[in-house]
Structure 1
């Protein structure tokens, strides 16, 4: 009888094992989804801080708005603010365009040259950006260009864009990122954007025209 009970216990124990495995499997699936959720939460927090900052800049003026006020309006701590933005002026730096343009650049048809691929990417991003989102980005850029203290942050963003575009050019062409030609090409493209902006919000049409000039070469 005892032997029979032991067999029943062992048999039941073996049957329970798959259920524990299934449970662990489900936990692994949930854990694999966590990074995506965290990234979306970070994006929402970053957007909230930026929008509240810009609202306060418009309401009280840039100089009169403090980081503590921005953090309070966004319902985050000042420490969290600095986790997303190293300074008050960097809140104004527009990345609604840069990162999507890089993604579209990488996805552009393989037969396009780097300049043509960038033109393709710029056209795609500007054409799909909603009116309110575009107006908000342009208004923030317009304020940024009026602030001398934002010049350093803007320069850093241009350097970041050159780095991202250098990496993207290397991927598209199957070359090493340290190939000097990649950085020269990226610098030329970003230089076109800098010249087009010229202390004013970026216009998609103006950038496309400037890229056409770059692709065609200088007048002889």
Structure 2
């Protein structure tokens, strides 16, 4: 059952970890590289866009691009929300069901991305459907996010992060999110993505009803 709390976007900016000058400069560089990449891809396509072009557009060196993003796929797929989601998850009530906690975290993150970076989100999702390397890398990055979110879930349950049940639970939630994103893209991004994610987690909670 969907709750009212799950439909209200969380104030993610309140949970950004404090940053010194060095961290702010790094974040500014990461964002500049990503935005330059999105502009170039929108103009000339993914395959035609090179790291050298991205570096020139972001006014950094190619080595700097690779220092922040190991691959071109990572530039497209990486955002700043994973550590924030972990931080928000740790603030949820200890007696809240884990799936409800993740529902609130994920719908809040999706709502925040759509509000703050709508064009980037649309382009990213379209590219995930069109570029096999991006779709494969998406699966890997979501596995990383699953491991990150497993830590606070495990702490709350008094288990280890590599506990089988914890790993299966967080992996299943992230796999469900992946399918919701893919379906959203396949349908021309016309659906309400937050509602689609909410519905996806409803199904995960209640099972497939025939």
Question: TM-score by structure 1 length?
Answer: 0.75
> Per-residue deviation at 1:132?
4.5
- 1:213 matches 2:197: no
| Correspondences of 1:135-154 after superposition (within 5 Å) | 135-154=119-138
> Per-residue deviation at 1:127?
4.0
The answer to which of 149-158 and 120-129 deviates more is: 120-129
> Per-residue deviation at 1:128?
4.2
Task: State the partner residue of 1:21.
Answer: none
Label 1:132 to 1:125 Cα distance change in 2 as closer, same or farther (>3 A): closer
Label 1:127 to 1:87 Cα distance change in 2 as closer, same or farther (>3 A): closer
Task: State the partner residue of 2:164.
Answer: 180
SS across alignment from 2:49: coil
> Per-residue deviation at 1:184?
1.1
The higher relative CO (CA closer than 8 Å, separation ≥ 6) is in 2
- Between the aligned partners of 1:60 and 1:121, the Cα distance in structure 2 is 35
The answer to which of 126-135 and 78-87 deviates more is: 126-135
Deviation track 1:115-157 (CA, whole Å, cap 9, x = no partner) reads 1101111233344456342332232222232112212321211
SS across alignment from 1:52: helix
> Per-residue deviation at 1:177?
1.6
Question: TM-score by structure 2 length?
Answer: 0.78
- Between the aligned partners of 1:205 and 1:43, the Cα distance in structure 2 is 30
Task: State the partner residue of 2:16.
Answer: none
- Between the aligned partners of 1:145 and 1:193, the Cα distance in structure 2 is 15
**Rg larger in 1 or in 2?**
1
Deviation track 1:91-125 (CA, whole Å, cap 9, x = no partner) reads 11143554433332222222211111011112333
- Between the aligned partners of 1:124 and 1:65, the Cα distance in structure 2 is 32
Label 1:125 to 1:61 Cα distance change in 2 as closer, same or farther (>3 A): closer
SS across alignment from 2:165: helix
| Correspondences of 1:49-128 after superposition (within 5 Å) | 49-128=33-112
